[in-house]
Amino acid sequence: MDTYRLRALAVAVVLAAMGGAMDTPAFQGPSLAGRWSLNRAQSQFPREVGFGMDVVPPGTGDRAGGEEGGVAGSMRGNNPRPVSEEQARNEQQLVAEVKAPPAFLSITQTESVVTITDERGRTLTLHPDGREEFQRLDAAPVATVTRWDGPRLVVRYKVQADRELRYTLSRASEVAPLIVQVQFVERGGRDVVTRTYDAAKPGDPIPTPATTAPAAARTAPGQAPLGQPASGQAPAAQGAPPRVYQPGQPFPPAGAPGQTAAPPGTVPAAPGGMMPASPDRTSNTPLTMRPGSELRGLTSLGVVVEELSQAATSCGLKQDAIESTVKRSLTDAGLRVVTNSDEDTYLYVRIVTTAMTTGFCFSRYDAILYTNAMATPTYGSAQALVQIELMRDGGLAGGGASQHADSVVSSLRQYVNAFAVRIRDANK
């Protein structure tokens, strides 16, 4: 074979390998779908588990804080790792969930989505396409990447820059149990914990997504509780629809006993115990209650980064770098970022930093999505320009100046990415 053909063959092999690497791995193997019950006898429950377990000698413990350590994080041995408060709380939550795994799971699986629900109703929705998405935790969103590795579903939680929590779910056959392997991946080694889930038996709890119950309303002394008639009023009929007051329409509907419609052209007063809407909110104005409806139609926005203080710049923070990071996250999500324009809707980033003489830096950072709209307040009759806060997230970070900026920018990137995901989902 001549040199030309050898080169052509080599190029073809490389291109084929690149094409295969770029394709999203397809599922191959037994389905993970079903109801599953934890087999504690066949599962591992190590006494100590978590990040740093394999790089810290037993008994040395953790030394929290320190000039170079994170405020909410810890220093393990000679490996300081400054982290934000949200990162530390996310790590604690993820480790706690590994230590106390769900007793029952319900899994549904399609070509594009895998949904996992535990007995407490917590639901995890995963898209195994190899792309980064965000899962909401108690403190802040955390980035995840999900892929099929043959018959195994691999979910990577990006806890910190050099720490990952990796879940691998698999089955050997259609009649085999579900194996859940958890790895704490970090520089210096990894912990591995394996759990076995058998097919649920009749009578085992059926995990269902949790629903949020309405909070109990506080009532003033002598006032009827919400949903109960006030003194002198007839109780509502059993199974009657909720009492909704709409200006411009009689309440209850015309024809109800003891009620008369308001004269044409007038707005009737709200019944006792009910709060009317502002005068310009008439019944023909649709009210959308779907979550995220306030973001629907949002395709472009501005970005404003508050000018950094001298302390912030001495701690390594750069305004241009922060602004470019925020813009990149928004444009990568398909949003148009408008610059040098008086945009009604904009993302505002604020960072307040204190620099210690010891070299320790401490920052409070916030990302806020604002918009402006004309509205009539309930206490007035004239419209006014009102600033509306659509989304907000923020946190605290502390550490040595050499790594402080990376910690702050990384957290801000997570928040902005989460904002972008919510905007994108609202416009689907």
Please write down the HEC assignment for all residues of the chain. Answer: CCHHHHHHHHHHHHHHHHHHHHCCCCCCCCCCCEEEEECHHHCCCCCCCCCCCCCCCCCCCCEECCCCCCCCCEEECCEECCCEHHHHHHHHHHHHHHHCCCCEEEEEECCCCEEEEECCCCEEEECCCCCEEEEECCCCEEEEEEEEECCEEEEEEEEECCEEEEEEEECCCCCCCEEEEEEEEECCEEEEEEEEEEECCCCCCCCCCCCCCCCCCCCCCCCCCCCCCCCCCCCCCCCCCCCCCCCCCCCCCCCCCCCCCCCCCCCCCCCCCCCCCCCCCCCCCCCCCCCCHHHCCCCEEEEEECCCCHHHHHCCCCHHHHHHHHHHHHHHCCCEEECCCCCCCEEEEEEEEEECCCCEEEEEEEEEEEEEEEECCCCCCCCEEEEEEEEEEEEEEEEEHHHHHHHHHHHHHHHHHHHHHHHHHHCC
**387 part of a folded domain:** yes
Q: Is the pLDDT of residue 304 over 80?
A: yes
Give the Cα separation of 273 and 13 in Å (integer): 76
The mean per-residue pLDDT over the stretch 114-119 comes to 92
Q: Of 68-77, 249-258, 311-320, which gets the smallest average pLDDT?
A: 68-77
- pLDDT tens digit sequence for 404-425: 999 999 999 999 999 998 898 8
Residue 195 shares a structural domain with residue 301:
no
Cross-strand partners of 409: none
- More reliable by pLDDT, 397 or 243: 397
**219 part of a folded domain:** no
Written as one letter, the residue type at 41 is A
**314 part of a folded domain:** yes
The mean per-residue pLDDT over the stretch 252-279 comes to 46
User: What is the pLDDT at residue 84?
Assistant: 75
Within 13 Å of residue 412, how many CA atoms lie on the same side as its CB?
A: 31
Q: Of 77-81, 146-150, 175-179, which gets the smallest average pLDDT?
A: 77-81
Give the Cα separation of 189 and 51 in Å (integer): 9
Query: What is the pLDDT confidence band of residue 383, given thresholds at 50, 70 and 90?
Result: confident
User: What is the pLDDT at residue 41?
Assistant: 93
- pLDDT tens digit sequence for 144-166: 999 999 999 999 999 887 789 99
Of the candidates 186, 165, 169, the residue with the CA atom closest to the CA atom of residue 98: 165
User: What is the pLDDT at residue 187?
Assistant: 67
Per the listing, tokens 């006792």 go with: 272
**254 part of a folded domain:** no
The mean per-residue pLDDT over the stretch 352-366 comes to 89
Backbone φ, ψ for residue 161 (5° rounding): -60, -35
Task: Please count the other Cβ atoms lying within 10 Å of the Cβ belonging to residue 215.
Answer: 6
Instruction: Choose one of 177, 199, 221: the last residue of a domain.
Output: 199
The mean per-residue pLDDT over the stretch 32-38 comes to 94
**124 part of a folded domain:** yes
Q: Is the pLDDT of residue 1 over 70?
A: no
- pLDDT tens digit sequence for 283-298: 455 555 566 788 889 9
User: What is the pLDDT at residue 290?
Assistant: 66
pTM for this entry: 0.47
The mean per-residue pLDDT over the stretch 106-118 comes to 93
Q: Is the pLDDT of residue 338 over 50?
A: yes
Structural domain harbouring 380:
297-426
Residue 157 shares a structural domain with residue 303:
no
Q: Is the pLDDT of residue 55 over 80?
A: no
User: What is the pLDDT at residue 255?
Assistant: 43
Q: Is the pLDDT of residue 88 over 90?
A: no
User: What is the pLDDT at residue 58?
Assistant: 38
Query: What is the pLDDT confidence band of residue 86, given thresholds at 50, 70 and 90?
Result: confident
The mean per-residue pLDDT over the stretch 32-61 comes to 74
Looking at mean pLDDT, say which of 18-22, 79-83, 110-114 comes out highest: 110-114
Task: Verify cis geometry, omega within 30 degrees of 0, for the bond prior to 377.
Answer: no
The mean per-residue pLDDT over the stretch 120-141 comes to 88
Strands 178-186 and 189-199 come out as antiparallel
- More reliable by pLDDT, 302 or 237: 302
Q: Is the pLDDT of residue 209 over 70?
A: yes
**379 part of a folded domain:** yes
Instruction: Choose one of 154, 174, 199: the last residue of a domain.
Output: 199
Give the Cα separation of 43 and 36 in Å (integer): 14
Cross-strand partners of 20: none
Residue 301 shares a structural domain with residue 194:
no
User: What is the pLDDT at residue 154?
Assistant: 95
User: What is the pLDDT at residue 313?
Assistant: 92
CATH code at 327? 3.40.50
Of the candidates 266, 265, 224, 272, the residue with the CA atom closest to the CA atom of residue 245: 272
Q: List, edge to edge, every strand of the sheet that includes 336-338.
A: 336-338, 300-305, 346-355, 360-375, 384-400
CB 374 within 8 A of CB 386: yes
Q: How far is CA 92 from CA 35, 73, 160, 305, in A?
A: 28, 10, 12, 31
The mean per-residue pLDDT over the stretch 348-363 comes to 90
Residue 39 shares a structural domain with residue 161:
yes
**257 part of a folded domain:** no
User: What is the pLDDT at residue 294?
Assistant: 86
The mean per-residue pLDDT over the stretch 361-373 comes to 91
Instruction: Choose one of 166, 199, 232: the last residue of a domain.
Output: 199
Which residues, other chains included, contact 421 with Cβ-Cβ below 8 Å and sequence gap of 6+? 133, 134, 333
Q: Of 256-265, 306-315, 319-328, which gets the smallest average pLDDT?
A: 256-265
Q: Is the pLDDT of residue 15 over 80?
A: no
Strands 63-64 and 74-76 come out as antiparallel
Percent of the chain clearing pLDDT 70 (strictly above): 66
Q: Across all residues in the chain, what is the average pLDDT?
A: 74
Query: What is the pLDDT confidence band of residue 83, given thresholds at 50, 70 and 90?
Result: low
Which residues, other chains included, contact 142 with Cβ-Cβ below 8 Å and sequence gap of 6+? 90, 94, 134, 135, 157, 158, 159, 414
How many structural domains comprise the chain? 2
The mean per-residue pLDDT over the stretch 305-327 comes to 92
Residue 43 shares a structural domain with residue 150:
yes
CATH code at 82? 2.40.128.20
User: What is the pLDDT at residue 57?
Assistant: 37
For residue 329, give both structure tokens: 């996250």
Q: Is the pLDDT of residue 322 over 90?
A: yes
**29 part of a folded domain:** no
Burial class (CB in 10 A: 0-12, 13-18, 19+), 92: middle
The mean per-residue pLDDT over the stretch 50-72 comes to 43
Give the Cα separation of 186 and 162 in Å (integer): 6
